Structure 1
Amino acid sequence: MRGPAPPITNNVINFYRTICPKVKKGMNWMNLKPFSRNKLSEGVKMTHLQKNLLKMRIAAFGAIMLLVCAVGTTYANDRVLEAENLVAALITELEQTSSRADMTDNDNKQALDRLVGIYFDVDAITRFSVGRYWRVATESERSEYTKLFRFVLLNQANEQFHKLRDLEFKPTATNTKGDKLILVGGIIHDKSGEFPDVEIFWRIVAQPNMPAKIFDIEVENISMLKTQQDENTTLIRRNAGRFGALIEALQKQLNNQQAN
């Protein structure tokens, strides 16, 4: 048979030391005796009512902290689930769209543009893609770059769009990095057998009170966005830090895409 249940105060203290170690140091006061047992020297006597009140306060504090820890865990799990569902929904829409035989190039571009707006953090991606040079660009340069950057990426995606029907995404594991970033991992499998399997991680930004969005894609541990940033910033540096040089290069690239 089990022995008597431990006092509630011990349960609360042990819970925090096990589940919430960060507050362990702040809980040391719980081990202190609230009143000296030496009644002769201190002349202090804790009544039965005072003891009960102290236990009630500690129990109430413990309940509050328990709720905080539980809510934090639930919140993190909810965000992970939201990130996984986001990737799954995007994959489903891509598969459905790419399998349609009646889609023209213009239809594909419109579909891709819509998916980018729904699933990707376009503003953050655009800013990150030029690094510190975003701060030195004028408002007109930022506006022009944002427009061209999106056009070029959509054209590049459209060129490869027909290949999506041979690819499938197999989820593996999801990891969290900090309190805002979630990595949804998986394997891209080519059903045609032309290409080997590739490991991929979708980097999802999940901030409180905001919908989760895709910020970056890692392929075989290589960040696509960081690679793009390196190319862009290198081009700007080679042109004496002139942001307009990047805009000119993108415009030229867009013209070539449209010509082909």
Structure 2
Amino acid sequence: MKTSFCRFLFSAVAVSGMLLSGNIVSHSPFAISAAQAQTTYTTPQLSQWLETTGNKMVAVVNSDVSAKEKKAKFLSVLNEDVDVDTIAKFCLGRFWRTATPDEQKKYLQLFHQVLINSITDRLGEYKGVSFNIGKTSKNADNKFTIETVLHRPKQPDVSIQWIISTESGQPKVVDIIGENASLSVTQRGDYTSFIARHGNSVSALIDALQRQISRHP
């Protein structure tokens, strides 16, 4: 079973946080806190939000704390700025509706763990990466697309589109499009195909995710 979304999520989210080459802007005038949550945002606000989110990730990547502390800090950023539960439910596709409440709970917990493991495994690979923010546009479904270009040392640039939802009252990443492919759609294909090959059993996917986590150092 593949975990391409987890790998791509880190490549696009955590890596692109190196916008200011480690210069963390902790008090940006456009930074949006929970206390300032609102239902509508201007495109400059959303662009600055994405920059600020990336800078928070840079602080973790470039810090001298232990791997355990980095993992905890990255999990905090993910929970605040990425709608992991919405992504996880989407990735399960139609099987989310057929899963029992207990299976849904276990799956969400495991998805979070697999995601953070995938991220922290690759923390050392992304120094020297930067990115530029392009235009922000509103989609027909009231989500927003923010275009960025990742610059990687000694590698070709990569165009990434971030899909942002503000339905919760503050911006959250709900999908990433890289190389013309939706990463959540790609991961959903992996998960639903796996379940279909195992008798339409969500518990089979849960068992596979648990094994993957148990093998993680």
Q: Same fold (TM over 0.5)?
A: yes
Number of the residue aligned with 1:104: 66
Q: Deviations over 1:174-202 (max 9, x none)?
A: 22211521011111111x31x21100011
* 1:83 aligns to 2:46 (yes or no): yes
Give, as a single letter, the amino acid of the residue that structure 2 aligns with 1:125: I
How far apart are residue 82 of structure 1 and its match? Answer: 3.4
Q: Runs (4+) of structure 1 moved beyond 3 Å?
A: none
Q: Is the 8 A contact 1:236 1:246 kept in 2?
A: yes
Q: Is the 8 A contact 2:107 2:206 kept in 1?
A: yes
Distance in 2 between residues matched to 1:185 and 1:239, nearest whole Å? 38
Q: Is the 8 A contact 2:106 2:206 kept in 1?
A: yes
Give, as a single letter, the amino acid of the residue that structure 2 aligns with 1:230: G
Pick from 171, 178, 183: which aligns with 1:219?
Answer: 178
Structure 1 residues 247 and 179, CA, compared in 2 at 3 Å: closer, same or farther? closer
SS class of match (1:197)? strand
Pick from 122, 139, 146: which aligns with 2:84?
Answer: 122
Mapping 1:27-42, distance limit 5 Å: none
Structure with higher Rg: it is 1
Q: Deviations over 1:53-96 (max 9, x none)?
A: xxxxxxxxxxxxxxxxxxxxxx87x3423321221111111122
Number of the residue aligned with 1:198: 158
Distance in 2 between residues matched to 1:81 and 1:172, nearest whole Å? 11
Number of the residue aligned with 1:242: 201
How far apart are residue 146 of structure 1 and its match? Answer: 0.6
Q: Is the 8 A contact 1:206 1:213 kept in 2?
A: yes
Q: Is the 8 A contact 1:80 1:174 kept in 2?
A: yes
Give, as a single letter, the amino acid of the residue that structure 2 aligns with 1:149: F
Ranked by relative contact order (alpha carbons within 8 Å, sequence separation 6 or more), the top structure is 2
Distance in 2 between residues matched to 1:143 and 1:82, nearest whole Å? 34
Q: Which runs of 5+ in 1 are unaligned?
A: 1-74
Distance in 1 between residues matched to 2:127 and 2:62, nearest whole Å? 6
Number of the residue aligned with 1:251: 210
RMSD: 1.6
Number of the residue aligned with 1:65: none
SS class of match (1:218)? strand
Q: Is the 8 A contact 1:129 1:232 kept in 2?
A: yes
Pick from 129, 133, 137: which aligns with 1:171?
Answer: 133
Distance in 2 between residues matched to 1:104 and 1:200, nearest whole Å? 30
Q: Is the 8 A contact 1:91 1:169 kept in 2?
A: no
Give, as a single letter, the amino acid of the residue that structure 2 aligns with 1:122: V
Instruction: Indicate the structure with greater helix content.
Output: 1
Distance in 1 between residues matched to 2:202 and 2:100, nearest whole Å? 9
TM-score by length of 2: 0.78
The alignment-based identity, stated in percent, is 27
Give, as a single letter, the amino acid of the residue that structure 2 aligns with 1:89: T
